[in-house]
């Protein structure tokens, strides 16, 4: 029963976290976002957007096929470049849309529908989308200023966030996730490993790192306080932190308190080891 619950939770989360919205100027509007100017072409199949996102708000990237790579920038503006490439489909059929809203800026790849029905849309917070055998891949590169949150979602592709300053939320279905940030993060995929290094252990409530096929390696600051739940069906669970055990310990499950506890940390995989490392 537990195995079935995990598969449904992660699979549904991954498949459904794929869309966003639409718009393009440099200040945040009120609660009713609207679409504005079309993207600037910088190459045959390239898209470029640059603008200000307020601290603590998010730049959200919703892809379907393709990788997402984020890196830090010393500037004050977010910069997003998307490159489209395909074997047989027309890259021009896939639109890149930008939406500004109270929570930040959402940018997504919107594929054409191949049959009658509800069209694909771009909305904040993710949504469902269909490619209907369209083989266009859209790779995003995002440059993120200090203090801006990153939300990165794709279905068929990897997510990498390197040396960021803000908090990160990443998800994929068929891809690995790598995160390095001075903030905290959460990540989910289905087929792929998760590697994350967090500089801030003061997250509110609970964060999760979950996959089905792949290992999880997480590095936390040495002075972390959290309640740990780690679960792996066919992998060894290990931690470098002193752990006050809660209940019994076995190869498949570990529950315990690190430091003074309080907030919660959940690590789950079905096929792969779990490693919790202590940053030096």
pLDDT value at residue 218: 98
56-66 pLDDT per residue, tens: 999 999 999 99
* Average pLDDT in the chain: 85
pLDDT value at residue 247: 75
3, pLDDT greater than 70: no
For residue 9, which phi and psi values (nearest 5 degrees)?
Answer: -60, -50
122-158 pLDDT per residue, tens: 999 876 678 888 999 999 999 999 999 999 999 999 9
Q: Which helix (H) or strand (E) holds 196?
A: strand 194-198
Q: Which residue, among 83, 245, 263, 270, has the nearest Cα to 194 in the 3D structure?
A: 270
Instruction: Give the integer Cα–Cα distance in Å for 178 and 170.
Output: 9
DSSP 14: H
Of 29-33, 143-147, 188-192, least confident by mean pLDDT is 29-33
For residue 219, which phi and psi values (nearest 5 degrees)?
Answer: -110, 130
Sign of CA dihedral 224, 220, 193, 169: positive
pTM of the model: 0.83
Instruction: Give the integer Cα–Cα distance in Å for 16 and 154.
Output: 10
Q: Read off the pLDDT band of 9 (50, 70, 90).
A: very low
Q: How many CB atoms lie within 10 A of CB 139?
A: 19
Residue 146, CA distances (Å) to 46, 55, 58, 228 in order: 26, 8, 11, 29
* Secondary structure class of 11 (helix, strand, coil): helix
* Secondary structure class of 5 (helix, strand, coil): helix
Distance of CA 195 to the CA centre of its chain: 12
Sign of CA dihedral 189, 218, 76, 55: positive
Residues 6+ apart with CB under 8 A from 35: 22, 23, 97, 99
The predicted model gives 186-194 an average pLDDT of: 98
Residues 6+ apart with CB under 8 A from 8: none
pLDDT value at residue 45: 55
pLDDT value at residue 216: 98
Residues 6+ apart with CB under 8 A from 17: 62, 126, 153, 171
Q: Read off the pLDDT band of 117 (50, 70, 90).
A: low
Q: Quote the tokens at residue 241.
A: 């932190």
16, pLDDT greater than 50: no
22, pLDDT greater than 50: no
Are 239 and 228 in contact, with CB atoms under 8 Å apart?
yes
pLDDT value at residue 121: 86
258, pLDDT greater than 90: yes
Q: Read off the pLDDT band of 115 (50, 70, 90).
A: low
Of 28-42, 113-127, 154-168, least confident by mean pLDDT is 28-42
The predicted model gives 228-254 an average pLDDT of: 89
84-104 pLDDT per residue, tens: 999 999 999 999 999 999 999
């Amino acid at each position: 029963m537990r195995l079935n619950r995990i598969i449904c939770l992660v699979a549904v989360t991954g498949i459904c976290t794929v869309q966003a919205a639409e718009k393009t100027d440099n200040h945040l509007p009120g609660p009713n976002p609207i679409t504005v100017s079309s993207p600037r072409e910088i190459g045959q199949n390239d898209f470029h957007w640059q603008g200000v996102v307020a601290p603590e708000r998010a730049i959200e990237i919703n892809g379907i096929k393709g990788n997402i790579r984020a890196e830090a920038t010393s500037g004050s503006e977010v910069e997003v470049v998307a490159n489209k490439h395909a074997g047989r489909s027309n890259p021009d059929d896939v639109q890149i849309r930008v939406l500004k809203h109270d929570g930040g800026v959402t940018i997504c790849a919107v594929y054409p529908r191949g049959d009658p029905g509800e069209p694909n849309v771009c909305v904040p917070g993710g949504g469902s989308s269909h490619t209907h055998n369209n083989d266009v891949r859209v790779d995003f590169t995002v440059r993120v200023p200090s203090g801006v949150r990153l939300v990165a979602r794709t279905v068929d592709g990897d997510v990498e966030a390197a040396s960021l300053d803000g908090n990160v939320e990443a998800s994929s279905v068929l891809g690995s996730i790598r995160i390095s940030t001075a903030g905290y993060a959460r990540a989910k995929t289905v087929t792929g490993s998760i590697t994350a290094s967090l500089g801030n252990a003061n997250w509110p409530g609970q964060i999760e790192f979950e996959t089905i096929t792949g290992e999880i390696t997480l590095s936390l600051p040495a002075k972390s306080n959290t309640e740990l739940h780690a679960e792996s069906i066919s992998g060894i669970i290990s931690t470098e932190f002193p752990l006050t055990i809660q209940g019994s310990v076995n190869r498949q499950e570990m529950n315990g308190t690190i430091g003074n506890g309080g907030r919660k940390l959940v690590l789950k995989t079905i096929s792969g080891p779990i490693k919790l490392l202590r940053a030096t």
